[in-house]
């Protein structure tokens, strides 16, 4: 099988002039990034791009090229696939993105109009919904952000027959919600083309439709807790066999609604009035007897750590809101715990929603249209004295931020002392960005090639790993570990 290289020529020497979106992309594509002063953002590539034309759109499966595809020698502008020196095949996306090519692992090449230079758009970290997006310009130069897997599935023909028919001749920009991409294993972080399929919206809804049992379980789990106190019809507390008032703490008030045939509004209004007058009592049938019930707010049990220490909750105060540059809500109150949990409480009903963030990578919290990082909220609420001391310390030392100003909460970073997925208050500290980078560069880590999970190599630092695998900057290794989008390497920090 022959491939057609199309390099530029300068003084009768073949070179590739490659424009990269950043230094990391240049390194990933094998470009020499030592001398970029004269060309600035353009990098001279060591490898050639081989432009191919596949006469068959697919050969019965996802491949890196085979005899059935019959690649032919062609002019770059007529190519529908590209092969890099590393042997990776990129296929043309089309649908208004003819200058964009995608690999089976959601790597991208975006050619310029003259097909002599290119960019390598990089997929971003997952958003709050777990989706990995990428921004790519169409053939008219207008940028579009969409799921990386959507671009790649389109390039490799991963569409259902109905989706294929519905999108024939349609620009990708017009797909919208009508043609979603489905993750076969339901893991939105798995963005290999083998895991994706473009479907029509009805097809996707049928596939992802939850069973009645699943819906009921989810509704129960999302239902707020409450306490029910039972009274007789005269408003006197009903007693059990041991002469104690009958009080039931229920983690999910939906269970109470079903058992006693009540509406959500009846429980909500009873909690809102917070008294034992007839106005706040609700009629129920308790063990075959007509009774009244008073509902009140029930706090779910706090967490307890391995040392027996109880979870501590603190409110996000008006001063904290100002520091976060987030306006106060008139209808809700917000709390954070020192054990990686966040609580939103409706002022009128005391309904609360608790979200646990431990184990999540850099989670963000939606507050009044803004999305600050959860770890920054926890550090601000639980370490205000540390923040003041750090700012004062840096001011005395005449340390300035990158803009030449004194450090503030906005310009200080929050460091995870050990595990970056642990957002407990005792694992967070304020730190200068430079010091945080130095610490990250010095953290022990494991690096391995994709597909070789049994051959992980441990390093004392990211800098040592970078030197061993052929990179000049520890930042490249940190990017490999943090993003999981590198075409060759994967990594993780070693947590003691």
pLDDT in tens, 239-284: 988 899 898 888 888 889 999 999 988 988 888 776 555 667 899 9
Mean pLDDT of 119-145: 83
pLDDT of residue 62: 52
pLDDT of residue 221: 63
**Range with the poorest average pLDDT among 58-67, 262-271, 408-417:** 58-67
Q: How does the average pLDDT of the chain come out, rounded? A: 80
Record the tokens describing residue 459, joined without a space: 């390093």
Euclidean distance between CA atoms 241 and 491, whole angstroms: 62
Q: Can you list the domains of the chain with their CATH numbers? A: 4-208 (3.90.75.20), 219-296 (no CATH), 313-433 (no CATH), 442-493 (no CATH)
pLDDT of residue 222: 65
pLDDT of residue 496: 58
pLDDT value at 191 more than 80: yes
Q: What are phi and psi of 256, to 5 degrees?
A: -65, -45
pLDDT in tens, 298-352: 766 778 888 888 999 999 999 999 999 999 998 889 999 999 999 988 776 666 7
Euclidean distance between CA atoms 455 and 468, whole angstroms: 15
- Residues 6+ away with beta carbon under 8 Å from 111: 76, 99, 100, 101, 117, 118
Residue (of 100, 101, 107, 130) closest to 25 by Cα position:
107
Mean pLDDT of 93-114: 90
């Amino acid at each position: 099988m022959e491939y057609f290289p199309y390099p530029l020529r300068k003084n009768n020497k073949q070179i590739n002039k490659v424009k990269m979106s950043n230094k990391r992309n240049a390194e990933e594509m094998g470009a020499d990034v030592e001398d970029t002063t004269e060309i600035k953002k353009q990098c001279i590539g060591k490898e050639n791009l081989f432009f191919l034309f596949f006469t068959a759109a697919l050969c019965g499966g996802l491949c890196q090229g085979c005899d059935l595809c019959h690649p032919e020698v062609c002019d770059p502008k007529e190519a529908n696939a590209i092969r890099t020196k590393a042997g990776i095949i990129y296929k043309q996306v089309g649908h208004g993105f003819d200058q964009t090519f995608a690999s089976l692992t959601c790597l991208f090449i975006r050619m310029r109009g003259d097909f002599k230079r290119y960019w390598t758009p990089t997929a971003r970290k997952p958003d709050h919904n777990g989706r990995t997006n990428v921004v790519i310009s169409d053939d008219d130069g207008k940028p579009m952000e969409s799921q990386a897997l959507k671009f790649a599935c389109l390039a490799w023909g991963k569409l259902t027959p109905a989706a294929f028919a519905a999108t024939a001749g349609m620009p990708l920009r017009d797909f919208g919600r009508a043609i979603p991409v489905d993750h076969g294993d339901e893991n939105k972080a798995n963005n290999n083309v083998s895991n994706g399929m473009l479907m029509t919206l009805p097809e996707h809804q049928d596939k992802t439709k939850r069973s009645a049992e699943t819906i009921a379980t989810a509704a129960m789990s999302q239902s707020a807790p409450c306490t029910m106190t039972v009274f007789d019809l005269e408003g006197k507390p009903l007693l059990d066999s041991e002469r104690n008032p009958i009080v039931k703490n229920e983690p999910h008030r939906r269970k109470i609604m079903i058992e006693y045939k009540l509406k959500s509004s009846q429980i909500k209004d009873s909690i809102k009035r917070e008294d034992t007058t007839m106005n706040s009592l609700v009629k129920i049938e308790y063990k075959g007897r007509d009774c009244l019930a008073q509902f009140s707010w029930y706090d779910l049990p706090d967490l307890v750590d391995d040392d027996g220490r109880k979870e501590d909750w603190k409110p996000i105060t008006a001063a904290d809101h100002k520091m976060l540059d987030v306006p106060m809500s008139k209808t809700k109150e917000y709390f954070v715990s020192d054990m990686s949990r966040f609580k939103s409480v409706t002022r009128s009903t005391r309904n609360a929603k608790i979200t646990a963030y431990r184990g999540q990578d850099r989670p963000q919290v939606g507050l009044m249209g803004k999305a600050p990082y959860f770890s920054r909220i926890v550090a601000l609420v639980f370490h205000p004295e540390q923040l003041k001391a750090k700012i004062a310390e840096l001011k005395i030392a005449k340390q300035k931020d990158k803009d030449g100003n004194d450090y503030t909460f906005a310009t200080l970073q929050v460091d995870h002392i050990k595990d970056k997925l642990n957002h407990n208050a005792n694992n967070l500290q304020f730190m200068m960005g430079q010091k945080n980078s130095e610490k990250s560069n010095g953290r022990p880590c494991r690096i391995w090639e994709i597909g070789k999970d049994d051959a992980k190599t441990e390093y004392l630092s990211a800098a040592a790993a970078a030197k061993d695998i052929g990179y000049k900057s520890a930042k490249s290794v940190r990017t490999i570990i943090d993003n999981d989008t590198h075409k060759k390497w994967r990594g993780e920090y070693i947590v003691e």
